[in-house]
Amino acid sequence: MTRALPEPTYRRFVAGLGTLSLRPFDLAEDVTTLHNWVTQPYARYWGLLTASVADVHAEYLRIAESAHHQAFLGEHDGRPAFLMERYEPAYDAVGRTYDVAPGDIGMHVLVGPPTAPIAGFTGAVFETIMDSLFSDPLVDRVVVEPDVRNVKIQALNARMGFRKHRIVSLQDKEAWLSFCTRDQYAEAHRMNEAG
């Protein structure tokens, strides 16, 4: 008998693309998939290129045991496609680099390697994540800290409404501390839809 996976906490249908959903990361079922993603060259900024499956399990066990950090597996039409981490900046190293405000939530995203590229997929994933975060009425602003060398995610962040604040030094990287308020995201979303 197959063990049931956690139910999605957020689901969104995207015309021409299908259904994107988020569910709690399942250590027993999802670690091997995530290990396959984080050890590929494109995921170098995730910092786990040389990690073993046991290393990835240990990292996501630590997250699962945290009261201030959660991992979610994103699915595309029921198949694993991306990872989202949501964390409280006040309990993270980034929270020591700026004045954390009530309503701040931190986010990390990693899109899995496509079996066949789909135009607009990464943007749709990012919108799904932002929509899910802002569906929480307690969230007023999303905080990200991408590696300064990761220009692809910085461009995507800007497209979604993030504004760069300043470069900060974290344990494993120099990062662009960036913020996106609910209003900034709504405005960016309107502009993206207008083309």
Length of the chain counted residue by residue: 195
Q: Minimal CA–CA distance to 166: which of 90, 98, 119, 85?
A: 98
- Report pTM: 0.94
CATH of region 10-194 = 3.40.630.30
Q: Are 17 and 120 in contact (CB under 8 A)?
A: yes
* pLDDT, position 1: 44
H or E element at residue 127: helix 121-134
What is the pLDDT tens value at each position of the chain, 195 positions in all?
455 677 889 999 999 999 999 999 999 999 999 999 999 999 999 999 999 999 999 999 999 999 999 999 999 999 999 999 999 999 999 999 999 999 999 999 999 998 888 899 999 999 999 999 999 999 999 999 999 999 999 999 999 999 999 999 998 899 999 999 999 999 998 888 776
Q: How many CB atoms lie within 10 A of CB 182?
A: 17
* pLDDT, position 193: 77
* pLDDT, position 195: 65
* pLDDT, position 191: 85
